[in-house]
Structure 1
Amino acid sequence: MSIAQALLAAIPIVAILAVVLLLIILFNKMNRIEKKLEKLLEEQSNSSLQ
């Protein structure tokens, strides 16, 4: 029983860590997409000025 209880006690900790990791990954992807969009917008504004 003690092993099962330890596993049950670890589940919420593991779940929280997984959520934090997912949030970090999503944040990194958002930053990359934002930078790509900024580059595209700059290229478009430069081409429209010329």
Structure 2
Amino acid sequence: MEAVSMPGAPGFVLGVQWHPEWEFMDNPVSLSLFKAFREACQRHARSSR
């Protein structure tokens, strides 16, 4: 498993070398990635109003 992130970046930055969308409901690591992305999108939407 390989992954990279950029804490402090102006936007959500996360790269992974696998397919987290495959069966993500059964994989807690993949599910946490999607939850983090959703939360980042919600923060961005609130700050862009």
Question: TM (normalized to structure 1)?
Answer: 0.46
Please say which structure displays the higher CA radius of gyration: 1
More strand by share: 2
More helix by share: 1
Greater relative contact order (Cα 8 A, min sep 6): structure 1 or 2?
2
